[in-house]
Amino acid sequence: MKRRDFLKLSALTGGAVLLGNAPNFRALAQGGTPASGGTLVWGHSETTQNIDIHQTGTASTLRMLQNVHDSIVVPDSNFTIQPGLAEAFEVSSDLLTYTFFLRPDVRFHNGKLLTAADVKYSFERVKDPATGATNFEVFNDVEEILALDDHTVQIKMSRVYSPFLARLSENGSGAIIPEGSGETTGTQPIGAGPFQFIEREFGNEVRLKRWDEYWQGPAYLEEIISREVTEPTVRLTGLRTGEMHLINDIPLDRVDELKADSNLQVHTWAPLSWAFLNFNHQIEPFNDPRVRLAFDYMIDKEVLVQGALWGQGEVTASPSFPTSPSRNNDLQVRPQDFNEARSLLAAAGVNPSDLEFTFKTTTNYPWHVEATQIMQEWFRMAGLRVNVEALTWSDWLSQCWINRDYTVTMMNFFTLWEPDFLYYSLWHTTGAFNYRNISDPVLDDWLQQARETADQSVRMELYHQIKQRIYDEAHDVVLWFRNGTLAAQKNVGGLDHIVNPNGSNLNFWRVSLG
Amino acid sequence: MATESFSPQTAASTGLGSEQRVRRRLLRMFRTPKGLIGLSLVVLFSLTAILSPLFIQEALSTKINVTARLAPPSPSHPLGTDQLGRELSYRVLLGARTSLMVAVLAVALSIVLGLPLGVLSGYFKGWTDLSLMRLVDTLLSFPVLLLALSISAILGPSVRNATVAIGIAFAPYLSRIVRSETLKVSSLPYIEAARAQGASDLRIITRAILPNILAPVMVQATISVAFAILAEAGLSFLGLGTQPPTPSWGLMIQASRDYLDVAPWTALVPGTAVALSVLGLNMLGDVLRDVLDPTFIFESAGAQ
Amino acid sequence: MTYLFKRLSLLLLTLLLISVVTFVLTKILPGDVAIMILGTRSHPETLTALRQELGLNDPLVVQYGRWIGDLLQGDWGTSLRFKEPIAKLLGQKILASGVIVVLSLLIALSLAIPLGVVGAVRQNRWQDTVSSSTALLGISLPDFFWGMVLILLFSRWLGLLPSSGFVSPLENLWLSIKHALLPAIALGLSLMAHLTRMTRSAMLEVLSQDYIRVSRSKGLGERMVVYKHALRNAIAPVITVAGLQLGYLFGSIIVVESLFNYTGVGWLTYQALLNRDIPLIQATVFVIATVFMLSNLVVDLVYKVLDPRISFE
């Protein structure tokens, strides 16, 4: 019924509408009806933070809120943008007008039907700097948000912002909340997703309940209790003792052992996140690309993936998602070569034994601490003198991220599959995530161009160039893609539908308990 | 002139036990199993801490070997290896140095801070006492670990800062003990006499008070070293103490947490090291207390 | 009466000093509250605006005045990170910690008193050695180590008890106790060790008193002497020390609750410290210090009632 309507509409609007099969529909089409009901206990690896979908910037919170809120558009596994709460959309050829046609039968958890007013309200809320929305910049070039009728919303741009649709599909910027619910969405969020938010005891658990009137049909699970257990081994013990049905982020060293366990099922995917080594570009001699390149040559990325991730990842020279057309596949991971490193340092006039610095890392990611120790050992072998400071998350954020008071550090990122979000934020001089003081005029120019290029293949080619430049200058050293992992009891069904294309979010709509 | 009247010997004869008697009792106590075990454990711990760095290169303890990670104890890996394939034998031996250094320096700092506070308070009494003890009481209202944790958080994570944090957190306890001992000693008749003879306060404190409160301070210091080892382990466990890859027992236990069921030796090796050294210090502390201060019943509170 | 009055006025003074120390402590903590609230992906301008809004740019004295004023009016503020009223958070967490503190006290006392008594009655015999060694071992290993061993033993290998989490006793008492048991044992072990040593020495002292010798010479049974007379007299200092140890438990719970992911006050304090949640740090540290100080006071008073020989300066 719904599927037929959907197809009819796509045929009708044709032309400018970018359509494909939404991944959700594929799930529906599969045979066998899983049992309905039951309460699933999920051992969640991280603590949820601010649960205001527009304000929150943490992967952990988005992972949970994915089940509460639906977005106007969603990405598919190839990162092509698909309809979400809008059953269709039109983009004018000059990329200056976007029209969204809303589904008529979407009900929020408060029982109200989704209307254009809710969309207008949500977008304007994100756009307003006073809201403090993480993604307010997505709306920087938005001139006007119009509700043409009850189910049609039109957005007029002041200039071309090529990543607009893609940005709307991610990280909560396109999540629609009922008109006027902004005040309470941080405490009692109301969305149009498959589960209703019941309550949260901070740092302990979040309870979600099935929303029977979900527009794609009700979920199988009656309730989800997300228990926030940050300690990996504790989570694993919980799964083994049956306290939990499902856990995400299996301790890295246990994945193989769990795969062999016939009482459990394991689901892995790649990538969940990627990591890189950072230099403070304002500190001598790290402003010299030869010095940064030398560091690249000191690191054996294969050994690092084995040593720090227990093999649960892959080396990569580029942080672009493997399936993204923006990825430059020509780049090769540089091998470990101490001679090359030494000659690069010599060329830069740096005597290894004069290079003494503190490598700041964060205990928030235990594998970073391991990776740091392994790299430190290599740096020591190259003759450098390196101290390690393992900082708490909050200290790392304030010292490295905000105050940029560090020499060398490392970090990882989730969900940055959208090339503008990824490259502009991280490598543009004014990028929001440029905590390395990088300022490369060539990059800045190309990044701005890419942002304003409407032709997607030209735009993707620009990103290949951009990544080549980052690689040649060794602005940072990309280390790895880390695998996502989750394990569950045998009676949990639908694990193949749980992971969002962005590799981080989990959606329990198709998950069942047998 | 007045020197004679308040020399330590004179003070001792007022009931705090003569030196000879103490010496005899000490010798006797060290022949009991408790004394013997305690003393040998402490000697073993100190020798390990002092000698290991002379014979073992630091680099050996940080040498990573990804192919031999979590190896069980065997002839080629005497105490097994940790999650990065580092030899636990080297790490536990060098870890003794970290533990001893932090503990001894922290306790020394607590004495430097707490002793003057306690002596001034106990000797001058009145307003000095009242105001100093308000400060001490206030600090005593914060559990040691909470105080150490906060101080470490302020100073940033490092061995040095952990030492300072533990030292500061221990100081009020020490000053409490010093104060009550000083009160006891300064009410003795010969101190009154010395005062009447016009001896300066400084002279009375250095010549009469300090020598006589030394014994309880020693007892407290021994026990405090044990608690400081535990506190360092606790801070490192929470990530605010010793920084990797420097070998530290607390850090080793923390790292072992994720591998406890597949590689229990990674926890047992540093755990045993902590247990033995703290056990030794506690036993020694008990013995010293029995010998030096038989009236002392209440356990002074430690760093838990 | 004057003693009580003096004690109370000193108490108020100490409370004031505690509040100042707490405030100063939290003010010199490094870190940025705003970024902890907004996350890594927030924009600098939003951050600046939030700092302004939180009043983080006001002079220290103003901030202190505002804090203490609100505190006195019962307004404990809102946790920056948890986005919930601090009073409510504390209420929940104190209940959680209360469960493990009470349990660990029960465990410690029920083990320590028999062990200590046996140690004293059988002084220098094998029973004494067992009792003393148990006690020494208990204080020689950090509680987080015991915690790890307990998880391995009871959760991982035997599968008897859950290894993490908290369930409210108001919701399900049995489940609540099951969750609290392992952290309570980990906490209780070192407390047990201290109390065993305390019981033993108090018993030894009492047993050497004249009236015990008199009781014995009157031909009373040894059991009667030990349990009726001696233990009754030795128990006062033991209970006192147990009370004093309550305060130390509040230090230990920081590590133990974090290890067991048991969401009590200790866990809350550690989270607050980790996240630089300043209002929450102020509140938790202040509450812990106050509870600790009050427990000391109560212990002092109880001791004075139990044992009138003690005179206070």
Highest mean pLDDT among B239-248, B266-275, B280-289, C147-156: B266-275
- Superfamily (CATH) of domain A34-48+188-270+484-513: Periplasmic binding protein-like II (3.40.190.10)
Collect all residues of chain A within an 8 Å Cβ-Cβ radius of residue C275: 393-394
Residue C17 lies in a domain: no
Is the pLDDT confidence value at A361 over 80? yes
Residue B58 lies in a domain: yes
CATH code, domain carrying C107: 1.10.3720.10
pLDDT for A237 equals 82
Residue C118 lies in a domain: yes
Both tokens of A141, joined, read 């070039």
Interface probe with A: pick from C80, C167, C178, C261, most Cβ of A within 10 Å:
C261
CATH code, domain carrying B86: 1.10.3720.10
Interchain pair B143, C248: CB under 8 A: yes
What is the C-alpha separation between A269 and A484, in angstroms, rounded?
A: 5
Residue B6 lies in a domain: no
Give per-residue burial for B234-249: e unless 16+ CB within 10 Å, then b.
bbbbbbbbbbbbbbbb
What is the C-alpha separation between A244 and A514, in angstroms, rounded?
A: 15
Percent of chain A scoring above 90 in pLDDT: 73
Closest residue on chain B to A308 (Cα)? B84
Interchain pair A203, C42: CB under 8 A: no
Q: What angle do CA B74, B80, B81 make, to 5 degrees?
A: 140
What dihedral do alpha carbons A38, A43, A45, A49 form, nearest 10°?
60
pLDDT for A100 equals 97
Residue B7 lies in a domain: no
Residue C55, min C-alpha distance to chain A (Å): 16
Q: Are A443 and A470 in contact (CB under 8 A)?
A: yes
Residue B1, min C-alpha distance to chain C (Å): 34
Interchain pair A380, B59: CB under 8 A: yes
pLDDT for B164 equals 92
- Which three-class secondary structure state does DSSP give residue A73? strand
Neighbours of B13 (CB within 10 A): 11
DSSP C90-156: HHHHHHHHHHHHHHHHHHHHHHHHHHHHHHHHTTTSHHHHHHHHHHHHHHHS-HHHHHHHHIIIIII
Residue A302, min C-alpha distance to chain B (Å): 11
Is the pLDDT confidence value at B12 over 60? no
Question: How many whole angstroms from its chain centre is CA B245?
Answer: 24
Is the pLDDT confidence value at A10 over 50? no
What is the C-alpha separation between A21 and C273, in angstroms, rounded?
A: 47
Residue A230, min C-alpha distance to chain C (Å): 8
Q: How far is CA A272 from CA A269, A319, A467, A502, C192, in A?
A: 7, 11, 20, 8, 46
What is the C-alpha separation between A239 and C73, in angstroms, rounded?
A: 46
Please report which helix (H) or strand (E) contains residue B235, including its range: helix B210-237
Both tokens of B49, joined, read 């801490």
Interchain pair C288, B146: CB under 8 A: yes
Both tokens of A284, joined, read 């001598």
pLDDT for A130 equals 83
The residue assigned the tokens 């390395």 is: A436
Among A243-247, B123-127, B189-193, the least confident range: B189-193
Interchain pair C273, B149: CB under 8 A: yes
Domain that holds residue C232: 94-306
What is the C-alpha separation between A289 and A471, in angstroms, rounded?
A: 10
What mean pLDDT is predicted for residues A21-34?
Answer: 48
Is the pLDDT confidence value at B16 over 60? no
Interchain pair B304, C251: CB under 8 A: yes
Residue B4, min C-alpha distance to chain C (Å): 32
Q: Which residue has the higher pLDDT, B295 or A11?
A: B295
Please state the domain count of chain C. Answer: 1
Query: Minimal CA–CA distance to B216: which of B301, B282, B287, B289?
Result: B289
Please state the domain count of chain B. Answer: 1
Q: Which residue has the higher pLDDT, C212 or B183?
A: B183
Question: Which stretches of chain C sit within 8 Å of chain A by CB?
Answer: 30-32, 35-47, 49-50, 79, 81-84, 89, 92, 151, 155-156, 159, 162-166, 259-261, 263, 267-268, 271, 274-276
Q: Are B224 and B217 in contact (CB under 8 A)?
A: no
Interchain pair A377, B157: CB under 8 A: no
Residue C6 lies in a domain: no
Domains A34-48+188-270+484-513 and A70-168 share a fold: no
pLDDT for A8 equals 38
Query: Minimal CA–CA distance to A378: which of A439, A296, A438?
Result: A296
Interchain pair C255, B156: CB under 8 A: no
Which of C38, C89, C259 lies closest to A57 in CB terms?
C38
Across all residues in chain A, what is the average pLDDT?
89
Which of B146, B298, B303 lies closest to C254 in CB terms?
B146
What is the C-alpha separation between B29 and C135, in angstroms, rounded?
A: 20
For domain A70-168, give its CATH number from 3.20.20.80, 2.60.40.10, 3.90.76.10, 3.90.1150.10: 3.90.76.10
Collect all residues of chain A within an 8 Å Cβ-Cβ radius of residue B244: 369, 372-373, 388, 390
- Per residue in C260-273, pLDDT (tens digit) is 888 899 889 888 88
Closest residue on chain B to A236 (Cα)? B258
Among A114-118, C163-167, C198-202, the least confident range: C163-167
What is the C-alpha separation between C110 and C116, in angstroms, rounded?
A: 11
Domain that holds residue B173: 17-303
Question: How many whole angstroms from its chain centre is CA B160?
Answer: 16
pLDDT for C37 equals 64
Q: What angle do CA B12, B13, B14 make, to 5 degrees?
A: 90
| Residue B135 contacts C, CB cutoff 8 Å | yes
Among A237-251, B27-41, C89-103, the least confident range: B27-41
> Would you place residue A373 in the very low, low, confident or very high pLDDT band (cuts 50, 70, 90)?
very high
If you count residue pairs, one on A and one on C, with CB atoms under 8 Å apart, how many are there? 116
| Residues paired with A486 in a beta bridge | A248, A267
- Per residue in C149-182, pLDDT (tens digit) is 888 888 778 878 877 778 888 888 888 888 899 9
If you count residue pairs, one on B and one on C, with CB atoms under 8 Å apart, how many are there? 139
For chain B, list the contacting chains (3+ Cβ pairs, <8 Å): A, C
pLDDT for B4 equals 33
- Per residue in A164-221, pLDDT (tens digit) is 999 999 878 999 999 999 999 988 999 999 999 999 887 778 999 999 999 999 999 9
What is the C-alpha separation between A119 and A125, in angstroms, rounded?
A: 10
pLDDT for A306 equals 95
Ordered by start, the domain boundaries in chain A are: 3-14+271-483, 34-48+188-270+484-513, 70-168
Radius of gyration of chain A (CA): 23
The residue assigned the tokens 């705003």 is: C34
3-state SS track over A151-217: CEEEEEECCCCCCHHHHHCCCCCCECCCCCHHHCCCCCCCCCCCEEEEEEECCCEEEEEECCCCCCC
Which of B62, B239, B258 lies closest to A233 in CB terms?
B258
Among A401-415, B13-27, B237-251, the least confident range: B13-27
What is the C-alpha separation between A102 and A83, in angstroms, rounded?
A: 9
For domain A3-14+271-483, give its CATH number from 1.10.287.370, 1.10.150.110, 3.10.105.10, 3.40.50.2300: 3.10.105.10
CA atoms within 13 A on the CB side of C241: 26
Residue B103 lies in a domain: yes
What mean pLDDT is predicted for residues C13-35?
Answer: 79
Collect all residues of chain A within an 8 Å Cβ-Cβ radius of residue C32: 394, 397-398, 402
| Residue A429 contacts C, CB cutoff 8 Å | no
pLDDT for B303 equals 31
- Per residue in B135-156, pLDDT (tens digit) is 888 888 888 888 888 888 788 8
DSSP C256-282: HHHHHT--SHHHHHHHHHHHT-HHHHH
Percent of chain B scoring above 90 in pLDDT: 35
pLDDT for A371 equals 97
What mean pLDDT is predicted for residues C279-293?
Answer: 85
Is the pLDDT confidence value at B128 over 80? yes
pLDDT for C42 equals 64
For chain A, list the contacting chains (3+ Cβ pairs, <8 Å): B, C
pLDDT for A185 equals 93
Among A232-241, B294-303, C102-111, the least confident range: B294-303
